[in-house]
Amino acid sequence: MVNRGPGGLVLIPVVLGSPYVLIKKNTSTQTTIRYPARGIGALWSAGTHTPSGAAVRLIGRARAELLEALRSPATTTDIARALGVTASAVSQHLRVLRENGLVTRERSGRAVLYTTTGLGEKLVNPD
């Protein structure tokens, strides 16, 4: 049985963290339980697919790989980690891709998630 703190119980699924359940009891705030998230989809395979040669020739390898990494919504920081580049470089490429209708963004709480549009998807996967 979990003893809830005065503020209640908060459950936090964690993708980029400990693979163990962590319980933090605090008498002045909420009790939190962090646990490994299920259903993370293609998160760990982001950036492992090879973009089409046509996309690389048209927009360059860096932007084509970025579009490929956006098979599932991700933040600038997530993409930078997956591709092994700086967040500022990803941000610059995302701006150009967004201005040209290849990616879109949506705010989710404090995070901004980017994903490919239909046009961006067709560019990296012409089949």
What mean pLDDT value characterizes the chain?
A: 79
Question: Domain segments of the chain: what residues?
Answer: 1-40, 43-124
The arithmetic mean of pLDDT across residues 95-120, rounded, is 91
> Rounded to an integer, what is the distance from CA 17 to the centroid of its chain?
14
pLDDT confidence of residue 25: 74
Q: Please indicate whether residue 45 or residue 32 has the higher confidence score (pLDDT).
A: 32
Q: What is the CATH number of domain 43-124?
A: 1.10.10.10
**Residue 71 in contact with residue 116, Cβ under 8 Å?**
yes
Q: Please indicate whether residue 67 or residue 1 has the higher confidence score (pLDDT).
A: 67
Q: Measure the CA–CA gap between 51 and 66, rounded to whole angstroms.
A: 9
pTM exceeding the 0.85 threshold for the entire prediction? no
